[in-house]
Amino acid sequence: MNHQNLPENSPGTGPVLAIESSCDETACAILSAEGVCLAQRVVSQDGHADFGGVVPEIAARAHLALLPGLVQATLKDADMAPQDIGFVAASTGPGLIGGLIVGASFAKGLALSLGKPFVAVNHVEAHALTARLPGLVPEGAAFPYLLLLVSGGHCQCIAVEGVGRYRKLGGTIDDAAGEAFDKVAKMLGLGWPGGPELEKLAQCGNPNAIPLPRPLMGRAGCDFSFSGLKTALSQKLAPYGLDPLPHQFAADLAASFQQAVADVVADRVSNALKMMPEAGLLVAAGGVAANSVLRARLEEVAADAGLRFAAPPLRLCTDNAVMVGWAALETCQEAADLGLPRPDDSTVRPRPRWPLEEMATRFAPQESIA
């Protein structure tokens, strides 16, 4: 079933108002029934920088304060009244439970007040389907394809076989890639979020200047490990104690670390493609997919395998509500294609963990995803 161009007024489709609140981005978007973004807004919370990472309680309180005005502004941007919305969707897991409760509760309340259905969206599935947004990838992103999800909380290779049909081929056994970037950036005395700051510093450095390990590289499978790399880098810093790092040394260290991560990820993804010979496309998603060095290495991997490579534009790599709305539209269309009613997930509770493998159950009428 191909949902690449959703028909206008097809069963169970938009316009959809979508909310994302799984971490520290508060976002709202409105998509047409065809998947065209009519308006979107994202607020990157700034109350976490002093702590060097996301503080769940601060994030939840910020979502609560920001969402009413953000939704109102997004509706105004789209020149729509609340009654014009076909249904409401929100990230309902996985993620920080406080933020998920705030976003999903707000979305459910809005849907109830308008007499509209609510669709619960798996945050990881939203990333997985982003490449299928109309017009995003030349020639489209038909199933099946291999997804590399690299973000602050996730690092996985996923076989995307269809809406609701996913197989995890491998994942991190310790830190996520984005988490490693942020922790190393903190060691180097950089600001937060650390990933973009580290990439900026690395532009002044030599990626071959400082030898660092490549954990699991060359081994079978496509699992990831970054804790040993992080530890090795910290040992390079030990001789300096609390003294400021020489700028060039810091830049070389940042560049060497970034290159090590890119090499490891490229090796792991190469193995994943061998595990999924039916893949017609390699897709990267998540905040770390915005890293230019990593993108370049993944393009090489795809080319070596004779595949196209696709990654969302930078604005859609990080958490956003456009991907949430699109995942909801794809879910509704899949249900319609199977002769099922449009999902109404008003009783589905937010979950800090929500494995992708469970998504197929929503298309089995006798089962519930609650």
Output the DSSP codes for 332-369.
Answer: HHHHHHTTPPPP--TTPPP-S---GGGGGGGG-TT---
Does 151 belong to an annotated binding site?
Answer: yes
Cα–Cα nearest to 147, from 135, 161, 160: 160
Question: At a CB cut-off of 8 Å and minimum separation 6, what does 200 contact?
Answer: none
Strand partners, 282: 146, 309
Packing angle, helices 194-202 and 292-304, rounded to 10: 80
> Cα 370 to chain center, whole Å?
23
Q: Is 14 annotated as a binding residue?
A: no
Is residue 150 annotated as involved in ligand binding? yes
Residue 153 counted as an annotated binding residue: yes
Residue 48 CA to residue 320 CA, distance in Å, equals 18
Class of residue 165 by CB neighbours under 10 A (exposed 0-12, middle 13-18, buried 19+) = middle
First to last CA, the chain: 26
Residue 144 token pair: 């099946």
Query: Can you tell me the distance from the alpha carbon of 200 to that of 93, in angstroms, rounded to the nearest whole number?
Result: 32
* Lookup: tokens for 6: 């959703």
Residue 320's identity, in one-letter code, is N
Q: Is 252 annotated as a binding residue?
A: no
Q: What are phi and psi of 211, to 5 degrees?
A: -70, 130
What is the Cα–Cα distance from 248 to 202, expressed in whole angstroms?
10
The answer to whether the annotation marks 48 as part of a ligand binding site is no
> Beta strand 308-310 with 281-285: parallel, antiparallel or unpaired?
parallel
CB 105, CB 67: distance < 8 Å: no
199 is in an annotated binding site: yes
Residues 71/109, Cβ–Cβ less than 8 Å: no
**Cα separation values, 91 from 94, 196, 352, Å:** 8, 25, 11
Q: Is 291 annotated as a binding residue?
A: yes
Name the phi and psi angles at 74, rounded to 5. Answer: -65, -40
Binding-site residue set: 123, 127, 149-153, 182, 195, 199, 291, 319
Binding-site residue set for substrate: 149-153, 182, 195, 199, 291
Binding-site residue set for Fe cation: 123, 127, 319
